[in-house]
Amino acid sequence: MATSAASLSKGTWWKEGVAYQIYPASFKDSNGDGLGDIAGILSKVDYLKDLGVDIVWVSPMFESPQIDMGYDISNYESVHAPYGTVEDMQALIDACHARGMKILLDLVINHTSSEHAWFKESRSSRDNPKRNWYIWKPPRYAEDGSRLPPTNWRSYFSGSTWEWDEHTQEYYLHLFAKEMPDLNWENEETRQAIYNSAMRFWLDKGVDGFRVDCVNMYSKRLGFLDAPILDAAVFEQPAWCEYANGPRMHEFLREMNSAVLNQYDAVTVGELPHTPDPKHVLRYVGAGDKQLSMVFQFDIVDIGQGTVGKYRFEDWKLPFFKATVAKWQQFIEGTDGWTTAFCENHDQGRSVSRFASDLPEHRENSAKLLSLMLATLTGTLYIYQGQEIGMINVPTDWTIEKDYQDIESVNFYHAAVKAAREAMAGDQQAIQKETDYIRRSIQILGRDNARTPMQWDASNKSAGFTDRPEGGWMRTHDLYPEINVAKQQSEPDSVLSFWKNMLRLRKSHKDLFIYGNFRLYDPDNESTFVFAKTTTPAGEAATGAGQAAVVVLNFTDKVQVVHLPPADEVGDIQLQVGNYLDATAAEKTEQSSALGRQRTLRPWEGRLYMSS
Ligand code: GLC
Ligand code: CA
């Protein structure tokens, strides 16, 4: 029998715990300045405990000019003043621990803010001792003598990855905003400074580990070659082939473990974009060669994104979604690696809107259907704030000009409109069409969808997020009177109650849900998603009590027929949970109707069966 990941290290908190991501700016404002803060998080720790959360991940709350919502850090050892102080963070760490919860911070060490003291020194002169802590290069020159950046790489936030520094007459590299220069990991001294300042400082305060930002971008290919031209309309090209998963990446992570993480027994979950090959991902998450505890592989959240530009929405079909889930469920089977289950975070549109339906008549069932799917998947489960109440994307009439805030979407929009005006000069209609398409793509995929204030109650126009009369730093979702925590807490059939129930169920059947093997049925069906979780490896029957679970999900707004997998594979299974209130009654009728294992699912209906 093949070894399952399960049998190797059961009982590990970071595998079995349910993790919850907090985006500090938008979680809870305690002092009426319109911005979330650490005291606000503290006031909700009991809410998280009650939900069933075991691990709290706090997005960056460090000192920062906030060009990219705190992912631009100017001092790792200090807290963004409007959020609170290092002492407040200590109180939060202690409050989590007092309730038996763990806490992870964000580790953003691919780059710093340009306001970080290290960069200020680095840019002060070419012979400054910290010059080499960042990546500086001389210009190239075109045939006509004009100055060109060292490569044609496109930054994540549009435009070049290179910024010209007048003072020292060189370019520096920034994969993100120009205010976020990339650190030079080739330099040993820089790495040691990162370990001390960004890691040991917080590990000594008791944090249990890190979500590691851009974890595969530290090692750049040192040839600094131009990226292939995919988008002929502009100079800058997608270039992750040159800077992601570079030659020393695995070496750096091994060093980080032996130098720091192992000393604290700290856990890591790495952000791992641009890595589609399971064999490669396994190199990062295999327990034998310790690099990362687990990663967020990007395939699931990349669904619908454009290949040449992120906010050029491409339609997708359910078989692709199912294959994606199956791939990242199964890649650890028979290995010593570990996986994660997630479909939201602060960089993504809301899952109900992206993967299901946010229409008023479907959104609650959609949220519960996705909860049913996620809570039964293998790996560490991550929930993003607001997902537990089924928060949805911002309304279509919000505008880039007034309502959107995110540097990535706003820059993308302006760059795309500018390119359209240049390429389609005079053709107003074509320009308008292109503009509408980009707006629509941002409405589906934009990061701001996840960043609207948490909807706590209907006590004021800010959904109880802030008391500030003029509201929060970002507009509150118009539907807060219908979608909020207080309302759902009082309703036994709410999305929130459903999630609580699912999390309890998940934890009471760990072998099946957290460690089980995943089997996909009917992969080509474009309407329904049917999978089984079993405690036995693929190919072996799972017919004993509690050995199999079957999940059937209707991903359409029409009635669909599904077939439960045969009894010789999953045994005698009984309905356990459904997102329709009358699921039990419906199941009884169907069971007695001589249709065998055929079931009829209503729009966005999901059911979970378990072997008895
Ligand atoms: C990661 C973060 C994202 C940020 C970027 C730069 O992708 O999740 O929010 O913009 O890194 O740090
Ligand atoms: Ca505040």
User: Degrees (nearest 5) of the Cα angle 501, 209, 485?
Assistant: 30
Residue 134 near ligand 1, beta carbon < 6 Å: no
Residue 214 near ligand 1, beta carbon < 6 Å: yes
pLDDT at 562 over 60: yes
Q: Which amino acid is at 427?
A: D
pLDDT at 6 over 60: no
Instruction: Provide the pLDDT confidence category of residue 540 given band limits of 50, 70 and 90.
Output: confident
CATH code, domain carrying 586: 2.60.40.1180
Q: What is the pLDDT of residue 3?
A: 45
Mean pLDDT of 222-240: 95
pLDDT at 563 over 90: yes
CATH code, domain carrying 379: 3.20.20.80
- 206 and 326 both lie in a single domain: yes
Does residue 521 lie within any of the structural domains? Answer: yes
Task: Identify the CA nearest to 51 among candidates 462, 384, 450, 480.
Answer: 384
- 167 and 80 both lie in a single domain: no
Mean pLDDT of 71-98: 98
Instruction: Provide the pLDDT confidence category of residue 546 given band limits of 50, 70 and 90.
Output: low
Does residue 165 lie within any of the structural domains? Answer: yes
Distance 443 CA to ligand 1 centre (A): 19
- 374 and 466 both lie in a single domain: yes
Q: What is the DSSP string of 537-602?
A: -TTS---STT-EEEEEEE-SSS-EEEEPPPHHHH-SEEEEEESSTTHHHHHHHHHTTT-TTEEEE-
Task: Take atom 5 of ligand 1 and give the residue whose Cα is closest.
Answer: 71
Does residue 430 lie within any of the structural domains? Answer: no
Q: What is the pLDDT of residue 1?
A: 37
Rounded CA-CA distance 41/27 in Å is: 7
Rounded CA-CA distance 466/215 in Å is: 34
- 132 and 215 both lie in a single domain: no
Other beta carbons less than 10 A from residue 595's beta carbon:
13
Distance 487 CA to ligand 2 centre (A): 24
Instruction: Provide the pLDDT confidence category of residue 512 given band limits of 50, 70 and 90.
Output: very high
Distance 453 CA to ligand 2 centre (A): 12
Instruction: Provide the pLDDT confidence category of residue 8 given band limits of 50, 70 and 90.
Output: low
Please give the positions annotated as active site: 213, 271
Looking at the structure of the chain, the number of domains it has is: 3
Task: Take atom 1 of ligand 1 and give the residue whose Cα is closest.
Answer: 213
Distance 213 CA to ligand 1 centre (A): 6
- 129 and 105 both lie in a single domain: no
Phi, then psi, of 158 in degrees rounded to 5: 75, 155
Residue 176 near ligand 1, beta carbon < 6 Å: yes
Which of 151-155, 368-372, 517-521, 567-571 shows the lowest per-residue confidence on average (mean pLDDT)? 567-571
SS3 535: coil
- 146 and 33 both lie in a single domain: no
Task: Identify the CA nearest to 449 among candidates 564, 318, 346.
Answer: 346
User: Degrees (nearest 5) of the Cα angle 207, 211, 213?
Assistant: 135
Cα 441 to chain center, whole Å? 18
Domain extent for 135: 117-173
Does residue 406 lie within any of the structural domains? Answer: no
Q: What is the pLDDT of residue 2?
A: 42
- 161 and 254 both lie in a single domain: no
Which two structure tokens, joined as six digits, stand for 143?
A: 């045939």
Which two structure tokens, joined as six digits, stand for 442?
A: 């941002």
Task: Take atom 4 of ligand 1 and give the residue whose Cα is closest.
Answer: 71
| pTM attached to this predicted model | 0.97
Instruction: Provide the pLDDT confidence category of residue 554 given band limits of 50, 70 and 90.
Output: very high
Ligand nearest to the CA of 88: 2
Does residue 418 lie within any of the structural domains? Answer: no
Does residue 432 lie within any of the structural domains? Answer: no
Residue 108 near ligand 1, beta carbon < 6 Å: yes
- 105 and 121 both lie in a single domain: no
Q: Return all residues near 582 (Cβ < 8 A) that are at least 6 apart.
A: none
Testing ligand 1's pocket by substitution, the residue of 22, 62, 68 carrying the most ligand atoms inside 8 A of its CB is: 68
Q: Which one has a higher pLDDT value, 612 or 14?
A: 14
Residue 530 near ligand 1, beta carbon < 6 Å: no
pLDDT at 5 over 50: no
pLDDT tens, position by position, 109-129: 999 999 999 999 999 999 999
Does residue 579 lie within any of the structural domains? Answer: yes
Mean pLDDT of 63-88: 98
Q: Which atom of ligand 1 is nearest to the CA of 110?
A: 12
Q: Which residues place a Cβ less than 5 A from the ion ligand 2?
A: 29, 31, 33, 35, 37
- Whole-number mean pLDDT of the chain? 96
- 338 and 375 both lie in a single domain: yes
Which residue do the tokens 């009884």 mark? 588
Which value, in Å, is the radius of gyration of the alpha carbons in the chain? 25
Does residue 289 lie within any of the structural domains? Answer: yes
